[in-house]
Chains A and B, each alone.
Chain A
Amino acid sequence: MSRVGRIARRLGTYGITLAIVTLIVFLLTAAFPGDPLEDEADHRLPPEYRHALRAQLHLDDPVGVRFARWVTDLAHGDLGVSSRERRPVATILRERLPVSIALNGTAVALIILLAAPLGIAGAWKPGSRWDRIARFGTTALYAVPVFWTALLLQGLFAVRLAWLPLFGTSSAVGISAWSRAADLARHLVLPVTCVALGGLAYVSRFVRTALLDATGGDGGRAIRARGATALRYVTHHGLGQAAVPLLTLAGFLIPRVVSGSLLVEEIFNLPGIGTLMFDSVMARDVPVIAALTLVTGIVTLGAVAAADLLAAWADPRVRRAA
């Protein structure tokens, strides 16, 4: 099969997965027994008004019809209207996403920057003192719940030392754009640290294992026999071969980081999608919940697909077959 055909085939596979992601999101929201008009206050509305509202929000249509309408709207880029705020979901997301993207993007960059050297150090001389220290440290970090870290860091840096703000995203109004950015950065230091620490262990151990898998065996022995130093052997030969599993991991890092950031946003009171999620779940705001789940699902799938296609492009076995 030609390379283009191979990649087209993969794209088709991801199309199917995308359909399943969409279906899961819908099933999740359809399984909610309640709807937004079931509160006490809603029952005191005049019946005709309530029925009009129900019809306007399409609450009484059969499941199949609602799914079809939802997918059609999605295809037109319409995420629906929040039943809590009576505003388009897309507008709300646009307000909330920047904070979460800043938080998670910085955290992912930090994770990769720190985890790669840690993993390389471990794979360089497996079983050495450095390897054992790094392994113990990262396993211990993994076992520390993110909200406990948040608690300790807040207590130390925000309360005792008062170096950094306790929560929120800004501490002053009416300041220049530059100092506003600096202020935001100061507010994000602790949350980013908390999110990054959670993912660090996972990624650094994965890097180590992927490198060991790549450099083990006959190929690795041959390179060593030719006189390559241990470090060169890991960085030059290992990283190239480990690129494929590492790229895949980078894609699947997203849902993990988002899970962690849900809590961190709640603890640090950041106006991102995490706090939005909790507020929407409490208010049974189904359109927003559906949109949030769908957006994270699609972003992850996109990252995984991109990583996979890149890996397929980079893999010499695939290139040769083309």
Chain B
Amino acid sequence: MRPELWRRLLPAWPVALLAAAAAVAPWLPGNPYRTDLGAVFTAPSAAHWMGTDGLGRDVASRLAHGARVSLTVGFATAAGAILVGLPLGAVAGYRGGFWDAAVSRVIEAALCFPALLVAVAILIDPPAWLRALPDPLRVAAALAALGWTPAARYLRAEFLRLRGSEAVLSARAAGAGTLRIVALHLLPRSLGPVLVSAAFGASAAALAEAALSFVGGDTPTPTWGAMLLEAMRQSGRAWWLALFPGLALFATVYGLNGLAEGIRDWLDPRPQHR
């Protein structure tokens, strides 16, 4: 018996919680930018649930605003990866031959680069069209520049597997055109693995965003990476500075990975993989 899908989605509850916090962050009472030099490094209390940082800013409120950045980058990267990866994977898998070889070589080449290094190189001095985007979307675009490969690979593999199936052959025999076959017969059957890769991609992107803002240094925008950077500078003086953003990041990555694995196990009929 396969457990229900909703049971498999349970691991994602911390992400849902953070997403809710992110959604209502602008209307929460705390202000992530307001400094209070009379209350620096105060431990968690009723007034400041997660304490304050070196400038007296409310950590809880910065955390909620940081969630907006992290989750936007995560989901936008996943969306960008699908946007680029789906057409490429579809062409490679459906057409085969030269197209498959061409796309496969590009995927192979893209896999050879460390994603973080390329993202840093793109972001330090982005082209004008990228500069016009808001911060989180710019970061997402830089991460999706290499992040599209899993989506393309999985879709290609599924298309290759299904291309010769009876469902496709009978559709073609009935006179369906390429576009109709791809959109109505192949895509719906192949989206599962792509969704799984998107969830993994979102978690990797959230982690990469934190890494980028960690090395990127001081920005006024509250991000978890920048909060952890400050925690490092205060090493040991205020445990709440490292604990809460670290936990939030951990919960996001753990939750999104759990979600991905949940979908994968639900789709995978082989019982031993669970």
Interface residues of A (CB under 8 A from B): 13, 16-17, 20-21, 24, 28-29, 31-34, 126-127, 139-140, 142-148, 151-152, 154-155, 159-160, 209, 212, 216, 252, 255-256, 258-259, 262-263, 266-267, 277-278, 281-282, 284, 289, 292-293, 296-298, 300-301, 304
Contacts and interface: CB of A to CB of B under 8 A. Distances in A.
B124 A282 contact: yes
Contacts of B231: 151
Nearest to A29: B121
Given A16-B105, A139-B254, A259 B114 contact: yes
Top 10 closest pairs, chain A to chain B, by CB: A143-B253, A20-B109, A259-B114, A143-B254, A259-B116, A300-B112, A255-B114, A258-B114, A297-B112, A148-B246
Interface stretch (B79-87, B132-140, B208-216): B208-216
Given A13-B105, A139-B254, A145-B249, A297 B232 contact: no
Given A140-B254, A143-B254, A154-B235, A259 B115 contact: yes
Q: Is the interface of B mostly helix, strand, loop or mixed?
A: helix
A139 B259 CA distance: 12
Given A147-B214, A255-B111, A284-B125, 7 more contacts: A13-B105, A20-B108, A127-B274, A147-B211, A155-B236, A293-B118, A304-B111
A142 B253 contact: yes
B206 to A, nearest CB: 9
Nearest to A24: B109
Interface string B213-235: 01100000000010010011001
B257 A28 contact: no
24 contacts: A20-B109, A21-B112, A31-B127, A32-B125, A33-B127, A33-B128, A126-B273, A143-B250, A145-B210, A147-B210, A147-B214, A147-B225, A147-B228, A151-B246, A155-B235, A159-B235, A255-B114, A255-B115, A258-B117, A262-B114, A262-B117, A263-B214, A278-B120, A300-B113
Interface of B: 105-106, 108-118, 120-122, 124-128, 203, 207, 210-211, 214-215, 225, 228, 231-232, 235-236, 242, 246, 249-251, 253-254, 257-258, 270, 272-274
B257 A142 contact: yes
Contact of A160 (B115, B207, B232, B236): B236
Nearest to B215: A266
Given A145-B207, A293-B117, A296-B114, A151 B232 contact: yes
Contacts of B113: 21, 24, 255, 293, 296-297, 300
Contacts of A258: 114, 117
Most buried by B among A142, A143, A146, A298: A143
Contacts of A267: 232
A73 B235 CA distance: 47
Given A143-B257, A259-B115, A277 B228 contact: no
In this complex, the member of B109, B211, B251 whose beta carbon has the largest number of chain A beta carbons within 10 angstroms is B109
A17 B127 contact: no
A16 B232 CA distance: 44
Residue from the set A28, A127, A255 with the largest chain B CB neighbour count within 10 Å? A255
Contacts of B251: 143
